[in-house]
Amino acid sequence: MTGTPDFADWLAICNLKAAYCRLLDTKDWEGWKALLTEDCVMDTRPSGGTLEEGRERFAAMVSQSLADAKTAHHVHSPEITIDGDRAEVVWAMQDRVVKDGFALTGYGHYHETCVRTAEGWKIARQTLTRLIVDMERKPA
């Protein structure tokens, strides 16, 4: 089934990532976790983070680190290759994190593997890379 993807799958994967950003920024942790497979692997080491295995562990780390932060995540320009029940996706991204007297604006990419499940498409693997990080100190 490699080749031109069914538009419904392409749209579902785009909606998955849109929900990911919205639920992350609104801190709807239960809704956000539901977008990930239970055994997901999330690698933020290329952007200064960690390697986390498992939805619960990753969600706990993210929810704790962003608990007091204001965030805005934007993705665009998806490159999606679908082969059956698996899709490889690259999203251009920009994020803004304001927390504890600093503000970070990052520019880079999410590299993801999405899989079709009984509940729909979910993110099974993600690597976050950054090309540019702008940091500013904010008055306390």
Where along the chain do its domains lie? 7-135
pLDDT of residue 6: 86
- Residues of the chain with confidence (pLDDT) below 50: 1
- Say how far apart CA 73 and CA 45 lie, in whole Å: 18
pLDDT of residue 117: 98
**Could you count the other beta carbons within 10 Å of the beta carbon of residue 42?**
25
- Ordered alpha helix ranges (H), 26-99: 29-33, 55-65
pLDDT of residue 22: 98
Q: Rg of the Cα trace of the chain?
A: 15
Q: Which of 25, 19, 1 is nearest to 121 (CA)?
A: 19
| Domain 7-135 fold | Nuclear Transport Factor 2; Chain: A, (3.10.450)
* Parallel/antiparallel/unpaired status of strands 70-83 and 51-53: unpaired
pLDDT of residue 4: 61
pLDDT of residue 1: 45
